[in-house]
């Protein structure tokens, strides 16, 4: 399955360097957090690969939406919300057979309260790796600068995660993330 990883990362890099770097940062966080989660070696490998390519579907979105230097309007959001499904189709076409990896791509925008997309599934129905990926994805997005806003500080982003426990995020995994040793958790934002 590493061949799918390489082909996705290569295509992400050629499409959009910022998106590529975001995916790599989330994959890097996954690698560093994995020892603190209850995943075995095989699960850890799949978790890291899945997080590295979680946003691969964005590669198929129109450039004017992907690179827009202002907040998206409602119509544009409708298109943006397609990316988990587009990514799932893409990696299945590429020959990805590992369900855990497919599930990270497919479910990383679901929310604990069922208000996420594309399926609106909630709680324990969301695969654990996708639940953890959504936290790291949000964390990296919050601390990253956008053309229309400056990124938050690491402390502000952590408080934001904490505020969204039980609505957007799973308590268990936010706690794991926030209780990482200080040197590790601050390094995750760099």
Q: Which residues bind Fe ion (CB under 5 A)?
A: 55
Q: How far apart are CA 134 and CA 146, in angstroms?
A: 19
Considering the complex, what minimum distance in angstroms separates the CB of residue 74 from Fe ion?
Answer: 18
Residue placing its CB nearer to Fe ion in the complex, 146 or 179? 146
- Both tokens of residue 178? 């926030």
Residue placing its CB nearer to Fe ion in the complex, 17 or 179? 17
Considering the complex, what minimum distance in angstroms separates the CB of residue 51 from Fe ion?
Answer: 11
Residue placing its CB nearer to Fe ion in the complex, 16 or 55? 55
- Both tokens of residue 69? 């230097």
Considering the complex, what minimum distance in angstroms separates the CB of residue 172 from Fe ion?
Answer: 21
Residue placing its CB nearer to Fe ion in the complex, 55 or 110? 55
Query: For residue 149, what are the β-bridge partners?
Result: 146
Considering the complex, what minimum distance in angstroms separates the CB of residue 164 from Fe ion?
Answer: 16
For 53, counting Cβ atoms within 10 Å of its Cβ (0-12 exposed, 13-18 middle, 19+ buried), the class is buried
Compute how many other C-beta atoms are within 10 angstroms of the C-beta atom of residue 154: 17
Q: Residues 112, 169: contact at Cβ < 8 Å?
A: yes
Q: Which residue is nearest to Fe ion (CB)?
A: 55
């Amino acid at each position: 399955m590493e061949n799918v990883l390489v082909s996705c990362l290569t295509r992400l890099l050629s499409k959009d360097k910022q998106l590529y770097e975001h995916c790599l940062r989330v994959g890097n966080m996954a690698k560093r957090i994995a020892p603190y989660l209850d995943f075995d070696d095989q699960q850890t490998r799949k978790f890291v690969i899945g997080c590295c390519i979680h946003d691969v579907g964005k590669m198929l979105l129109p450039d004017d939406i992907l690179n827009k230097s202002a907040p998206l309007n409602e119509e544009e959001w409708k298109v943006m919300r397609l990316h988990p499904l587009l990514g799932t189709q893409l990696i299945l076409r590429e020959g990805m057979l590992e369900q855990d990896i497919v599930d990270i791509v497919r479910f990383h925008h679901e929310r604990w309260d069922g208000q996420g997309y594309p399926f609106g599934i909630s709680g324990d129905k969301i695969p654990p790796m996708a639940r953890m990926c959504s936290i790291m994805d949000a964390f990296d997005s919050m601390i990253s600068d956008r053309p229309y806003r400056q990124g938050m500080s690491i402390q502000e982003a952590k408080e934001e995660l904490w505020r969204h426990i039980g609505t957007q995020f799973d308590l268990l995994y936010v706690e794991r993330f926030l209780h990482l040793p200080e040197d590790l958790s601050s390094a995750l934002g760099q």
